[in-house]
Amino acid sequence: MPPQIPGLDIPVVWSEDCLRHEPGGEVWLGVREQGTEVPERAGVILAAVRAAGAPVLPAVPHGDEVLSAVHDDALIGHLRTVWAEWEARGYVSEHGRDRVVPYVFPTAGMLAGLPARSPAATHGRLGLYCYDTMTLIGPGSWEAIRAAVDTALTAADLVAAGAAAAYALCRPPGHHAGPAAYGGSCYLNNAAAAAQALRRAGAERVAIIDIDAHHGNGTQAIFYDRADVYYGSLHVDPGAGWFPHYAGYAGERGSGAGDGANRNLPLAPGTGDAGWLAAVDVLCAEAAGRGVDALVVSLGLDAAQADPESPLRVTSAGYRAAGERLGRLGPVALIQEGGYDLPSLGGLTVAALAGVMAGAAE
Ligand code: SP5
Ligand code: ZN
């Protein structure tokens, strides 16, 4: 028997299928670049949590019931079939297009009141579901997209069954995917699925706190008119030039029954631990004030100093401190979102998860 090594005791849910999505870059401002949402991200996180002693559990396949409660079936069907259609219709073999990328978007301005049709041509229909040029689809994408959802749902199951915390190590990420639209390297909303699953399992009040560096416009949209799922996010100010540009402003507070159940805290580029943790505290206090039977954390590590995708400057100590605050709030399913600096990504994740376990033990 090997000696018992005391370590990180949070269950990590994982599926090898999450490696099958190879976006093959992203088209940014008209130029195809290498992209940063790469399979190696999951590899470095997996190695780090294993080295820290965390138990790694396989994702359990789930049906589409919960998924269909947070996304339109048309979006799910599109993602399930578009790659096979793309190949069958010769876009790869005849036209040399090795990934699915849209080029026409039926914006409100273009339609000017006309109904959004569903064009027969595959290349004409893509913009109906995809809102940017950075979120490519290739041969194994669907398997990874669906495995990521199963990973999140399995983490939610563990929390529903009484675990203090569980972590879904999923990719592609999900928080930019809305009810009927995908973008921002996200296809289906893993965190929203976890929140919905916790509601179904009996948690009356679910809070989602999103600490990814970017605003989770998809999660916000899914729950915007609901009072039962609070969404709070701190992120680099979209008005200062950062994705998703069109959402994430402080005035977006929810609508109808959901009025007041949405909170955005945009931060100035350059914000470090002090300002970032103060914002985490605001969200934790607001969520606690509303009551939290179960918590979902959209765990993005891209607010870190070295990350290439955001100008925030959070340290590993900052991530640990945030984890402690979140762990104190209640049983928590943590869902992997962004985080792109491969050399520091594993350590940042372990710091955040160790903080969660320390907070949960208090
Ligand atoms: C889940 C998540 O973190 N999605 C982030 C999507 C934002 N991607 C914006 C990409 C903009 C182009 N990147 C240029 C990097 C130059 N250093
Ligand atoms: Zn992000």
Region 139-163 average pLDDT:
99
Q: Is the peptide bond before 61 cis (omega within 30 degrees of 0)?
A: no
Q: Is the peptide bond before 244 cis (omega within 30 degrees of 0)?
A: yes
Q: Which two tokens stand for residue 189?
A: 């909303």
- Report the alpha-carbon distance of residue 38 to residue 36 in Å, rounded: 6
203-247, pLDDT tens digit by residue?
Answer: 999 999 999 999 999 999 999 999 999 999 999 999 999 999 999
Measure 186 CA to ligand 1 centroid, in angstroms.
11
| Residues within a 6 A CB radius of ligand 1 | 28, 134, 173, 176, 184-186, 212, 214, 243, 300, 302, 308-309, 337-338
17-70, pLDDT tens digit by residue?
Answer: 999 999 999 999 999 999 999 999 999 999 999 999 999 999 999 999 999 999
User: What atom of ligand 1 comes closest to residue 302's alpha carbon?
Assistant: 3
Region 122-136 average pLDDT:
98
Ligand 1: which of 21, 131, 185 to mutate, judged by most atoms within 8 Å of the beta carbon? 185
Identify each DSSP E strand in 214-258 by its residue range: 229-236
Of 272, 255, 271, 254, nearest in space to 263 by CA: 254
Are residues 138 and 99 in contact, defined by beta-carbon separation less than 8 angstroms? yes
pTM, to two decimals: 0.97
Nearest CA to ligand 1 atom 9: 243
Q: How many helices (H) and strands (E) does the chain have?
A: 11, 10
Region 278-284 average pLDDT:
98
Region 61-85 average pLDDT:
98
Cross-strand pairs, 264:
233
3-state secondary structure of 129: coil
Question: For a pLDDT cut of 90, what percent of the chain falls above it?
Answer: 98
Nearest CA to ligand 1 atom 8: 184
Nearest CA to ligand 1 atom 13: 309
Measure 151 CA to ligand 2 centroid, in angstroms.
19
Q: Examine the residue annotation and report whether 214 is marked as an active-site residue of this protein.
A: no
Sheet strands side by side (includes 262-267): 56-58, 12-14, 165-168, 332-336, 294-299, 206-210, 229-236, 262-267
